Structure 1
């Protein structure tokens, strides 16, 4: 009887340690996901800003403000 009690006690201790490790890993993953979510929220907020729209228009569409001159810096071979 005593041996069975000791065996079950040790088995429960091992199970508890494994569960604690899983909790720690899950907490780390949760923290990483929260950080990523915050970063995405900041990105989402900036996308609607006038500065972002202007930057996108300049980079993607090659647009310029009135009075500006375009300088092409690509090297020709």
Structure 2
């Protein structure tokens, strides 16, 4: 009878150990998934911010003031009656 009780105890300990192993393994997996979710949320926020800035830039690029500024800076255009100033430092 002592061997039966000992055998049952060993089986019980093995089952409990296996259940504990599965539980810990699942907790580690869940923590890793939560960390990945947090990282993806941060990436999403950065992408949303970049998208908002790009949309603002698109809106601004359609304005006459922005087009005029680009024409003056990149093409060196001037309005009638203005005196051009040339920067020789560059």
TM over 0.5: yes
TM bracket (short chain): over 0.9
Q: Identify the residue that residue 35 of structure 1 maps to in structure 2.
A: 49
> Unmatched 5+ residue regions in structure 2?
1-14
Aligned mates of 1:21, 1:30 — CA distance in 2: 14
Map 1:36-55 → 2, pairs under 5 A: 36-55=50-69
More helix by share: 2
TM-score (norm 2): 0.81
Higher relative contact order (CA 8 A, sep 6+): 1
> Unmatched 5+ residue regions in structure 1?
none
Q: Identify the residue that residue 6 of structure 2 maps to in structure 1.
A: none
Q: Which has the larger radius of gyration?
A: 2
What root-mean-square deviation, in Å, do the aligned CA atoms of Structure 1 and Structure 2 show? 1.2
Query: How many residue pairs were aligned?
Result: 76
TM-score (norm 1): 0.94
Q: Does 1:5 align with 2:19?
A: yes
